[in-house]
Amino acid sequence: MAARRRKPRRPDARPSRDGGDEETGRGERIQKILAAAGVASRRASETLIRDGRVSVNGTIVSELGTRADPVRDRIEVDGEPIRRSGPRRHYVLNKPRGVVTTTRDPHAAHTVLELVPDHERLFPVGRLDAPSEGLLLLTNDGELAQAMLHPSFEVPRTYRVTVSGRVGEASLRRIRRGITLRGKRTAPCEASVVETQGDRTLLEMTLVEGRRRQIRELLRTLGHPVRKLLRTRFGPLRLRGLRAGQWRVVTPHEHAALERLRAHAEHTRRQ
């Protein structure tokens, strides 16, 4: 009598770097899954992966090419399973001076998430350093965050900046053309004088890149230290009269504009 063959037991699928779990060859990149689940933007999700804070079916992953199945695989960040993506939520906050733009910081007195009531799984899009103020987008949509922040999409950011000294036309031309900071030239931007009072000048600047502390370093290099920095616009979003510390849900018109930007970014990536 022939021996009866036993059907092999299916092991837990392991994450793969070449197309999903090893049995099916399907899946999505881990950073895309995390962004869709509202854990963080794609860029921030890549940092989580590099830092070894992400696991798939109990296996720590640290390579950005890793793929997984968001339905079948158990994906965890810091030992906590990620949630299935739900409704996309977007809030506009007028960040006050002194509040840190991060989801958590043990050394900071306050973070921006403390200012909105429904902060679970929200994260800030783009940084404003602690002394800066103004418009900040809080969302659970990592794909939108990637579209807003990636330099290839050139999403404009407008600031009102009060600086020391009188800013002349020569300095404005240098700001508009761009200067070299830390070995890299800044992108051209719009800049104009709103008003001058005594030894202070109020500028309006519109940039399409978001390098860390770029405005402060640029203006300090030109001899005009920043006294106050307020962001008034980010893409289709505007403060619309929000006082410092106040927040609002995006309007239907703003929501539609954000969805168009998101769709355009997704279409561009697929080409």
Q: Where are the beta strands (DSSP E) in 111-152?
A: 123-125, 133-139
* The token pair that represents 204 in the structure block: 């309006």
| Contact residues for 259 (Cβ-Cβ < 8 A; gap 6+) | none
- 109: number of CA atoms within 13 Å, CB side? 5
Does the annotation count 129 as an active-site position? yes
Active-site residue, selected from the candidate residues 12, 18, 129, 199: 129
* The token pair that represents 127 in the structure block: 């940084």
| Contact residues for 135 (Cβ-Cβ < 8 A; gap 6+) | 92, 93, 94, 95, 231, 232, 233, 234, 237, 238, 239
Q: Which amino acid, residue 146? A: Q
Catalytic residues: 129
